[in-house]
Each structure stands twice: as structure tokens, then as C-alpha cells.
Amino acid sequence: MGHRGADPRDATDFREAIIPRLRVAAADLGWLLGRGYASTAALKLVGDRFQLTSRQRSVILRAACEPQAPRLSRRMADDASLTGRHVTVDGFNVLVTVEKLLAGGPVFVGMDGAWRDAASIHGTWRSTAVTESALQALRDVLVGARVHWLLDRPVSNSARLAGRLRALEPTWHVEVLDKVDPQVAAAPDVAASSDGPLLDVCRAWVSLEARVATRHAGWVVDLGAEGAVSPP
């Protein structure tokens, strides 16, 4: 995951004209998932109907949300204060999306309001030209909060990133763990993540990526019902 900018295929797969189709496809997929359809079968049905590429299918799967999902009522408003709140940050999950935003790649807002990259981390991460700016941007939106960063030990360079976080803001509590998900799900106050299953079980969650985007322009594709596209 060294590269964070736009993929050459993004201009075609996520061009402005295709976004309305992706938005309807995500809504249809969410509807099917809400009625018990298996994700693999539902994604094939919707993807075939709308003739989506594999990358477009991956994006709508990450953007779709069951209409009755608990996470919909647990999202903090983007203008709600974090001062004094205990924010548990799903480290790589959040950082990679902010890096993508600042590097000019497309970032997708799902039906649940969570912001996501087109693909998740798969064991490898390394610093890029935008990493420092991304960390500074996250520090800016976390001012006043009691912050607990959680980093996945199996992901490469996790210990190195932990050191950078501690140096950037000494008040932050940073942990490198073998299994981060259970800790994010059990966050005592507010979780910061875009992992749908975790958002369904946590007490409350916040989109730090959305807050960063209010200060830093980027290529944002909103696949929610009232979504819009902000092209690069």
C-alpha cells in the first residue's frame, strides 16, 4: 500500500456520468442484504444487472448498508464536538482513507455515511509523501479529544507508525495489537472507523475522514441516497 493517489482506471470506473448508476446499485445491494441475501450472491446479481466492473463491484459492496443497520443511528454529526470525548481510532482504517483523499485518489461515502477507500489494507503499509500531512490533518480534527490509537501488529511498519503518532502528539495513547477489531467494537465512548460490522456494535462512531474533508479538498464520491460527486 505504498501508492495512495488515483489509479489509472479510476477516471473510467468512477467518472461523473457513472456515479448515479453506482448509487442505485449500492441502494439495491443494501436492500437485498437487508432481506437476508448472501453478500456474494447479491453482489453478483446487482453487478450483473448494472454491468459493473470488478472494481465498481468492490466499491458498492463497501458502500452498501442495510436500511435497518444499527450504525445508522449511532453516527455522530460531523459538527458535534469531540472535546473531552474518548475517541478510539481504528488506525490503519482511518489513516489510509485520509492519505487517499490528500493524494487525489477517489474516496467513497457509503450509505451509512462512512468514508472508505476503494480497497482495504491487506497486511502491507508504508509511509508515502502524504502520510505526514494526513497525520497532521487528523491531529487537527482531534483537538480536545482523549485519543486512543489502535494499530494492527500484523500490518507492516505498524511499530514505526506508532512511534510517529506518539511523537506527533504525546497526549495520544497508541497501542499495537494482534487483533484491533474487538477493541474498536468495545470502544467505551466513540469509535473512529469505517468497518461496517464494527460500527453496528459500537456505542457511537465518528467519521474523522469527513471532518478532514471539510478542510482539505479531494475527489469525494458520495454513494448515499442524496449523494453527489466532487470530481478531481
Helix (H) / strand (E) element for 88: namely strand 86-90
Name the grid cell of 222. 458520495
Ordered by start, the domain boundaries in the chain are 69-230
Calculate the CA 225 to chain-centre distance: 18
pLDDT at 124 over 50: yes
- Give the start-end residues of each E strand in 98-223: 106-109, 115-116, 146-152, 173-177, 190-192, 205-206, 219-222
Could you report the per-residue pLDDT of 130-140, keeping only the tens digit for each? 999 999 999 99
pLDDT at 3: 55
Q: Could you give the strand order of the β-sheet that contains 86-90, starting from the edge strand earlier in sequence?
A: 173-177, 146-152, 86-90, 190-192, 205-206
pLDDT at 230: 41
Could you report the per-residue pLDDT of 82-122, keeping only the tens digit for each? 999 999 999 999 999 999 999 999 999 999 999 998 866 56
34 within 8 A of 134, measured Cβ to Cβ: no
pLDDT at 122: 64
Residue that wins the pLDDT comparison between 200 and 118: 200
Mean pLDDT of 56-74: 95
